[in-house]
Amino acid sequence: MSNSVYAEHGTPIYVDHISWLTAEDHLYSLDWPTPDDYFYVLPHIYMEDHYYGRAGSVSRSLLWGERRLTAGDLALMVLEKLGTHASWDWMILAQTYPERHALTAPLARMLESASWQVKHPLGVTHMGALAGTEAIQVALWSKLPREKAVIVLVEQRILQDDGPDAYRHRSASQGELSDMAVALESGGDQGALQIHYAGKRVITSAESDFAAEILGSIQHLMSDYAAEQVILQSSLGWHIGGHLLSQIQAPYSCSVSTVDYQSGDVWIQLADRLQKGSIQPGARVLLISWDDARTISACCVHVLHKPLLSRITLNQEIKTS
């Protein structure tokens, strides 16, 4: 099928390289006794206790030697896979959870500590998992077609998730939530992955009809973008349930993971399937992110050829206590 199917969908963005890492909960250790960076973490603990009306919130650490990694550190690790002396016109960093070092903005520290050249740094926050696809729209708003850009998605939950009053609690049947960092590098007006932003939709149906409206929206987007495969935010797949997922899977191919990687989830699923060869050049894949409430956001990826894929395995590089 020719690219003319996309003529009415506006300008795409192209991605040549995906770099990613995941930081599952078992890699963390509780900060007990008081961690050496307690002064930086204290504002988060104070706000958590004050907001939920409780006392004794406990932070947790991802240790690398004697160092406690922050979300900014995770972002730096995936960016380093793109090159140690890279130059971009735009760097877009999307992060919702607070940085471990409350007094140091992650984007400023990243630009200060690295050798990259970035003309226009841009931070995006409070978008949650929707940032995974909404960041494509931010890039399209920001960059000119020939400008180089890198999109960084990172989340790290620094406080122990110990119950329904914590950040986000899931039962075993709902799957697991994991921290991550993902970098998407765009080299200009051509590349391996051609990506069109497909829009955002608020689901208005009652809860009893929620899944049916989601299904209808997905099927409409699949038809509109001539996509053969769909990758759902994993938590959305769990919420919809197996019966309706089977309706998406016939005649389409639908992917849902057993772990939700927040704003990086759909990109990690895509990269993993590209690496395994279950998505081949020529495929059109719809990515659906979800805010764990009423809003979905989508983009469509046309795989022109296989991009560079760089996966960092943290359990080979860090030490836990």
What is the C-alpha separation between 273 and 267, in angstroms, rounded? 10
Residue with tokens 């409350």: 102
Q: Which residues, other chains included, contact 190 with Cβ-Cβ below 8 Å and sequence gap of 6+?
A: 14
Predicted pLDDT of residue 165: 43
The span from the first CA to the last CA of the chain, in angstroms, equals 53
Q: Which residues pair with 231 in a beta bridge?
A: 255, 287
Predicted pLDDT of residue 315: 67
Predicted pLDDT of residue 64: 86
CA distances from 219 to 14, 43, 245 (A): 24, 45, 12
Q: What mean pLDDT is predicted for residues 222-251?
A: 81
E strands, the chain, where? 13-15, 17-23, 29-30, 60-61, 63-64, 67-68, 87-94, 117-124, 149-155, 176-177, 179-186, 193-202, 229-232, 253-255, 259-260, 284-290, 295-303, 308-313
What is the C-alpha separation between 21 and 94, in angstroms, rounded? 15
What is the C-alpha separation between 141 and 138, in angstroms, rounded? 5
Predicted pLDDT of residue 174: 65
Residue 171 has pLDDT above 50, yes or no: no
Residue 3 has pLDDT above 60, yes or no: no
Tokens of 41: 């973490």
Predicted pLDDT of residue 1: 36
Pick 188 or 129 by higher pLDDT: 129
pLDDT band, residue 114 (cuts 50/70/90): confident
Kindly report which listed range (35-39, 55-59, 229-233, 316-320) carries the lowest average pLDDT score: 316-320
Predicted pLDDT of residue 253: 67
Q: What is the pLDDT of residues 132-144, one digit of tens each?
A: 999 999 999 999 9
Predicted pLDDT of residue 314: 84
pLDDT band, residue 164 (cuts 50/70/90): very low
Residue 247 has pLDDT above 70, yes or no: no
Kindly report which listed range (100-109, 236-245, 299-308) carries the lowest average pLDDT score: 236-245
Residue 317 has pLDDT above 90, yes or no: no
Pick 169 or 134 by higher pLDDT: 134
DSSP 89: E
Residue 245 has pLDDT above 70, yes or no: no
- Residue spans of the domains in the chain: they are 17-189, 191-312
CA 224 to chain centre: 24
CA dihedral 182, 304, 138, 113 (to 10 degrees): 40
Q: What is the pLDDT of residues 258-289, one digit of tens each?
A: 899 999 999 999 999 999 999 999 999 999 99
Q: What is the pLDDT of residues 66-110, one digit of tens each?
A: 889 999 999 999 999 998 778 999 999 999 999 998 888 889 888
The yes/no answer on whether domain 191-312 falls in CATH 3.30.2320.80 is no
How does 44-53 read in b/e, with b if 16+ C-beta sit within 10 Å? Answer: bbeebeeeee
CA dihedral 248, 132, 79, 257 (to 10 degrees): -40
Residue 210 has pLDDT above 50, yes or no: yes
Predicted pLDDT of residue 249: 57
Residue 319 has pLDDT above 50, yes or no: no
Kindly report which listed range (41-55, 58-72, 89-103, 212-226) carries the lowest average pLDDT score: 41-55
Q: What mean pLDDT is predicted for residues 29-57?
A: 87
Q: How many CB atoms lie within 10 A of CB 250?
A: 8
Predicted pLDDT of residue 149: 96
Q: What mean pLDDT is predicted for residues 44-73?
A: 88
Residue 181 has pLDDT above 60, yes or no: yes
Which CATH architecture group holds 17-189?
3-Layer(aba) Sandwich (3.40)
What is the C-alpha separation between 19 and 309, in angstroms, rounded? 6
How does 194-216 read in b/e, with b if 16+ C-beta sit within 10 Å? Answer: bbbbbeebebeeeeeebbeebee
